[in-house]
Structure 1
Amino acid sequence: MIVVGLMSGTSMDGLDVAVGEFGFDGEVLTLRPLGAEEYPWPPETRERLLGLLPPSAVGLAEVCEVDTLVGQASAAAVGRAIERFSAGRADLVASHGQTVFHWITDGRALGTLQLGQPAWITEATGLPVVSDVRARDIAAGGQGAPLASTLDTLWLADDASAGTVPTRRAALNLGGIANVTVVGGRDEPVVAFDTGPANCLLDAAAHRITGGRAGSDLDGRLALAGTVRADLLARLLDEPYYLREAPKSTGRELFRADYVEPRCAGLPPVSDEDLMATLTELTAVTVADACRRYGLTEVVASGGGVRNPALMAALRERLSPAVLVTSDERGLPAGDKEAYLMALLGFLTWHGIPGVVPGATGSATPRVLGRITPGDAPLRLPEPAPSPRRLAVLPPV
């Protein structure tokens, strides 16, 4: 099957679209990446998305309108990607939508909301769409995150079986929120969780510092010009979330745009450059602290944060002696990995295969994820297939 995956993460900088060809080879699931591209949100759409986040109070009319705008933009992006990467042909679309709220109470996930009405994608392409992929896992007692653990476990298991990499490693995604999947030997349980902020606090600070002209500090320029403020860093690290045991998840509901300001109160003035340096160090410290207990020898990083040299340098220093590499070195482009994840989840759902691995999100029983919007053709699902043991990423044709 040719599946299109769409992902817009907590950074809200744009829509990542990937087209992949999936198949079975015995117990191995194969993925041949056909192409991927990022489509930035129109400035007004991004501002309206950011305006939905806590602590903002918004009405249902605005939620409805943004749901439609994101759905229409997604439909246009899918059409362009199919024409560009698969000669106008595809079988299925899997759309994550844009998370605007992830409801956590006392460490338990109770609900989640992603906007981006999938009917617009189906109407524009005629294809069936898998969407709302987190809710079933939450209903089953899981966190609904990090779903990246599904791809990570199958993908790194492929390396483990070949004996080409160390046996204790983790996949690290640096989106708005950072998450890790720790993969050991074949019989060891998978551990996956959100470590805390990756880019979300940096993005919010860069947006404020530049008056909205820049949504991020991906070149690390501001952070590299500053000095880490130990007094502010200590306050930021005094966050109860970091002490919770996995599985756990978080989002912009906790690490809000106004999260840093009250923690600066009473301190000597913090310059913009020092703030960015300190927030960069916060991500590096919390990721490294979360990984340290697992005795890792390798960390495979992906997501927008890998483009930030200041963040990557801080991570390399803090994660040592573990080696930090990017997912490009394992066959998946760092900026496209989560869009291919969505394509993978859609393929699994279509074949009746659970979209989480046991224990990764905290659910007692892994479930088939999402809901399906039928396309123009009659909806005929294949017989459920057995869960694959590993994922092989094939080279492009």
Structure 2
Amino acid sequence: MRVVGLMSGTSFDGIDAAVADIELEGEVLKLRPIGTLDAPYDAGLQDEIEAALPPAPTTFETVCRLDTRIGQAFAALAAEAVERHGGELIVSHGQTVFHWVDDGRVEGTLQLGQPAWIAERTGLPVVSDLRARDVAAGGQGAPLVSFLDRLLLQGRPGTPAALNLGGIANLTVGTLAFDVGPANALLDAAARHFTGARYDEGGRLAASGTVIPALLERLLQDPYYARPAPKTTGKEHFHARYVDYGDATGPDVLATLTRLTAQTVANAARVHGVTELIASGGGVRNPTLMAAMREALPVITSDALGLPAQAKEAYAFAVLGFLTYHGIPATLPSATGARHASVLGSVTPGSGSGSPPRVMRLG
């Protein structure tokens, strides 16, 4: 089955699309990457998303408008992907705007991007809202990419871990997965504060700065880092106002935040005896951040294993949606903390596509 996976992460800079042929042969899942596309959010939409995120107040009108505009943006990229590569199923993660965590327990999660726009534009069925069912089963709703990570890591020597460097850094080690802490979320916020730019391109400002020890030590005291896995976080915690910059310079703040991400990832990896990191996500394009990572552990990107680092999450959601469409549970309870594995998400029928196929089960 040819599946198009759509993903926008906590950096909310745009949408990734990954097209793959996916099939089940007995208990073996086969994925063949076909191609990837990406599209930035237009500046107006990106500004609207940022303005609506916590700790800012918002309205139901704003939520409705964002749900429609994000859905239309996802639909446009989905249509382009299908035109270039074909497709039989669309899987849309949507845009996370809130992850409700109360004393370490996830009570709810909200992704916007109305799937009806995608189904109407492409005529194909759409699997969406993939996180909520895991939350309802007592899980964190994340990191769902751990399902694909586990397959990717099988057979590698030592204790490898998959690291995703999006707005938030998350780690998968064996059957355990969790959000480590901030990655691009705080770096991008600092870049906007000091320069007006969306991000520190190539990590150049960070490379020119010097770590501020007192600021780094203060940031490392956040109780989140000491919580046991499974755990998740997001921009409702590590938001644009999280860091008090004081009178520090932009380069020094960015150098410090780069070190914060590298150190918290390294600390978490050491706890679990990790011998190698397989990195993916937007952060792999930041050579300053990657150099800081490599000071602690050997790091390669998922490209070396045949899975494009910039689109790994989109491929992961293509897999999850494929399994959902065939009625197969697609979570690792040990990774999310759920009581049981669940069939994820909801299906929006395409034009004349009828109902999803009857339930298939592994084994």
Query: If the TM-score is normalised by the length of the shorter chain, which range does it land in?
Result: over 0.9
Q: How does 1:356-395 map to 2 (within 5 A)?
A: 356-387=331-362
| Counterpart position of 2:191 | 206
Q: 1:387 to 1:221 in 2, by over 3 A?
A: farther
| Counterpart position of 2:299 | 324
Aligned to 1:224, which of 207, 211, 222?
A: 207
| Counterpart position of 1:187 | none
| Counterpart position of 1:27 | 27
Larger % of helix: which?
A: 2
Aligned to 1:150, which of 113, 122, 147?
A: 147
| Counterpart position of 2:157 | 166
| Counterpart position of 2:105 | 108
Alignment-mate amino acid for residue 274 of structure 2: L
Alignment-mate amino acid for residue 182 of structure 1: V
| Counterpart position of 2:316 | 341
Deviates more, 1:16-25 or 1:1-10: 16-25
- Distance in 1 between the 2:76 and 2:24 partners? 30
Alignment-mate amino acid for residue 191 of structure 1: L
CA contact (8 A) 2:125 2:353 kept: no
Q: How does 1:187-202 map to 2 (within 5 A)?
A: 190-202=175-187
Point out where structure 2 has 5 or more consecutive residues left out of the alignment.
none
Q: What SS does structure 2 have at the residue aligned with 1:306?
A: helix
- Distance in 2 between the 1:333 and 1:235 partners? 36
- Distance in 1 between the 2:333 and 2:63 partners? 34
Q: Render the CA deviation track for 1:38-76: whole Å, top value 9, x for unaligned.
A: 100000000001111111111111111111000111111
Q: 1:332 to 1:218 in 2, by over 3 A?
A: farther
- The Cα shift of 1:168 comes to 1.3
- Distance in 2 between the 1:128 and 1:382 partners? 11
Aligned to 1:119, which of 116, 131, 138?
A: 116
Give the TM-score taking structure 2 as reference length.
0.98
Q: Render the CA deviation track for 1:148-182: whole Å, top value 9, x for unaligned.
A: 1011012222xx1xxxx314111000000000000
- The Cα shift of 1:378 comes to 4.2
Alignment-mate amino acid for residue 172 of structure 1: L
| Counterpart position of 1:306 | 284
Q: What SS does structure 1 have at the residue aligned with 2:225?
A: helix
Q: What SS does structure 2 have at the residue aligned with 1:152?
A: helix
Q: What SS does structure 1 have at the residue aligned with 2:334?
A: coil
| Counterpart position of 2:80 | 80
- Distance in 1 between the 2:353 and 2:3 partners? 18
- Distance in 1 between the 2:289 and 2:158 partners? 26
CA contact (8 A) 2:124 2:353 kept: no
| Counterpart position of 2:242 | 259
2:4 is equivalent to residue 4 of structure 1? yes
| Counterpart position of 1:93 | 90
- The Cα shift of 1:373 comes to 0.6
- Distance in 1 between the 2:293 and 2:68 partners? 38
Alignment-mate amino acid for residue 175 of structure 1: G
Alignment-mate amino acid for residue 238 of structure 1: Q
Give the TM-score taking structure 1 as reference length.
0.89
- Distance in 1 between the 2:192 and 2:19 partners? 31
Q: What SS does structure 1 have at the residue aligned with 2:93?
A: strand
Deviates more, 1:165-174 or 1:8-17: 165-174
Q: Render the CA deviation track for 1:197-234: whole Å, top value 9, x for unaligned.
A: 011000011111122xx211140100000000100000
- Distance in 1 between the 2:266 and 2:64 partners? 40
Point out where structure 1 has 5 or more consecutive residues left out of the alignment.
184-189, 389-397
- Distance in 2 between the 1:167 and 1:92 partners? 37
- The Cα shift of 1:383 comes to 3.5
- The Cα shift of 1:387 comes to 4.2
Aligned to 1:244, which of 213, 227, 249?
A: 227
- Distance in 2 between the 1:209 and 1:43 partners? 18
Alignment-mate amino acid for residue 298 of structure 1: E
- Distance in 1 between the 2:18 and 2:33 partners? 8
Deviates more, 1:18-27 or 1:294-303: 18-27
Provide the identity percentage.
58
| Counterpart position of 1:394 | none
Alignment-mate amino acid for residue 177 of structure 2: A
CA contact (8 A) 2:26 2:362 kept: no
- Distance in 2 between the 1:387 and 1:65 partners? 40
Q: Render the CA deviation track for 1:302-334: whole Å, top value 9, x for unaligned.
A: 000001011001111123xxx211000010110
CA contact (8 A) 1:227 1:277 kept: yes
Alignment-mate amino acid for residue 144 of structure 1: G
- The Cα shift of 1:385 comes to 3.0
Q: What SS does structure 1 have at the residue aligned with 2:309?
A: coil
- Distance in 2 between the 1:218 and 1:345 partners? 32
